[in-house]
Amino acid sequence: MATNVKERDADPALAERLRLEVERAFQRSLKGFELLGAPPPTVGRTPKTVLHRRGTLELVHYHAVADEVYRIPLLIVMAPTNKGYILDLAPGQSLIEFLLQRGYDVYMIDWHAPAPHERDLKIDNYVLDFIPDCIRRVQQDSGEEDINLIGYCAGGMLSVIYQSLHADGPVRNLACFTTPIDFSKMELFRSMAGEKAFDVDAFVEKNGIVPADVVASGFEALRPASRIASQIKLWDNLWNDQFVKGFRMMERWGNETLPLPGGYFRQTTRELLRGNALYEGTLRIGGRPVDLGNITVPLLHVVAQYDHIVPPACAAPLVQRVGSADKEEVVLPGGHVSIAAGPNAVKRMWPKLDAWLEERSV
């Protein structure tokens, strides 16, 4: 015992560490109980007005906070698999709040769970109906003809398809985050969706709407150990209020993964994952071929270096294929979600997006 005391005296860092660990263990017990009865974390608190709601579609306008805003409004297109509040988690962790404070007029296309009658919605409906409809509404609401379009993940893919089919439309600039183009590089999704492994027609016929659990488990299958590991990390960090808050918001977002219309799911599986039609140039929407070369507006593509859902190789062809003279791909350290939300996004992606947009928004 005397030796231990001597060692501790000789090693103040050890004594400090022991004190810290005892304190954290105590905090873990207390906060663990608090967590059991805690209500779901509040997210998406930036004031907004719902401009339009139609089935799965919702168009919102965030209230401006700057005294004057840039002329061209921003329209963000969220991926149909997830809720848009990932870009508006909490004050200080919100891309929306950041953009508003930087003087942009921000609109967002967010999605709800599709109703049973929307089971047959296809990519065609999203890019020939939903996005053009919302653009018209943004034009009406803002009084501006020009629009800057921003798409995240599959929202980026929809925006790219829309723009290639409406090259002479009102979109002045296009920014995409982690947008898949070459689906042959999504090896795991392709493997799961292979014809021998999965009868997509029978599945869609049977289910109509693809349940959220199936969509979420598809994402989880890419990193099967991460859910358990994240629970262990949560326990380890229970003493840390900031960590717990961030974890719970992300957990809520993951748990609120959206179901998908069967038609959209079937088209994505057959034409994009199996046929790689967007990359090959064989995708036809509304009977018209989707040619990325038709896109001539300035383009920014933000790619996540460690993205396990849309690997950089899958996203890279966007900048290579478009016909824009002004185009830029930025590969930033981060994963599929942390590229847009989280401390790294605050430091890296948001300032980059702002720097790119500001001179193109007047």
Is 49 a binder of another protein (CB under 8 A)?
A: yes
Is 9 a binder of another protein (CB under 8 A)?
A: no
Task: Report the sign of the C-alpha dihedral through residues 76, 81, 84, 87, in that order.
Answer: negative
Contact indicator for 109, 75 with CB cutoff of 8 Å: yes
Conformational region of residue 329, where left means phi above 0, alpha means psi within -120 to 50, and beta covers everything else: beta
Among 39, 68, 91, 242, binds another protein (CB under 8 A): 68
Contact indicator for 194, 352 with CB cutoff of 8 Å: no
Q: Which is nearer to another protein, 160 or 283 (CB)?
A: 160
Among 32, 169, 208, 254, binds another protein (CB under 8 A): 169
Q: Which is nearer to another protein, 91 or 143 (CB)?
A: 143
Cα 202 → chain centroid? 29
Task: Report the sign of the C-alpha dihedral through residues 351, 161, 112, 40, in that order.
Answer: negative
> Taking CB under 8 A as the criterion, which residues in 231-250 touch another protein?
232-233, 236
Q: Minimal distance in Å, beta carbon 269 to another protein? A: 12
x-marked contacts with another protein along 295-334 as a string, rule CB under 8 A: ------------------------------x---------
Among 42, 191, 255, 305, binds another protein (CB under 8 A): 191
Size of the site for another protein (CB under 8 A): 67
Q: Minimal distance in Å, beta carbon 115 to another protein? A: 8
Q: How far apart are CA 99 and CA 257, in angstroms?
A: 25
Contact indicator for 123, 161 with CB cutoff of 8 Å: yes
Q: Minimal distance in Å, beta carbon 335 to another protein? A: 12
Question: What token pair was written down for 318?
Answer: 């966007």
Is 38 a binder of another protein (CB under 8 A)?
A: no
- The amino acid present at 297, given as its one-letter code, is V
Among 1, 91, 196, 287, binds another protein (CB under 8 A): 196
Q: Minimal distance in Å, beta carbon 222 to another protein? A: 7
- The amino acid present at 90, given as its one-letter code, is A
In this structure, how many other beta carbons lie within 10 angstroms of the beta carbon of residue 103?
Answer: 16
Contact indicator for 321, 315 with CB cutoff of 8 Å: no
Among 9, 23, 34, 145, binds another protein (CB under 8 A): 145
Q: Minimal distance in Å, beta carbon 262 to another protein? A: 13
Q: Could you tell me which of 75, 21, 86 has the C-alpha nearest to residue 52? A: 75
Q: How far apart are CA 312 and CA 24, in angstroms?
A: 39
Among 103, 208, 254, 312, binds another protein (CB under 8 A): 103
Q: What Cα–Cα distance (Å) separates residue 346 from each residue in 1, 103, 299, 315? A: 49, 17, 21, 22
Q: Which is nearer to another protein, 195 or 282 (CB)?
A: 195
Is 144 a binder of another protein (CB under 8 A)?
A: yes
In this structure, how many other beta carbons lie within 10 angstroms of the beta carbon of residue 186?
Answer: 22
Q: Which residues here bind another protein, judged by CB under 8 A?
A: 7, 10-14, 16-17, 21, 49-50, 53, 61, 63-71, 103, 105, 135-136, 139-140, 142-146, 166, 168-170, 172, 187-188, 191-192, 194, 196-198, 203, 207, 211, 213-214, 217, 221-226, 229, 232-233, 236, 325, 358-359, 361-362
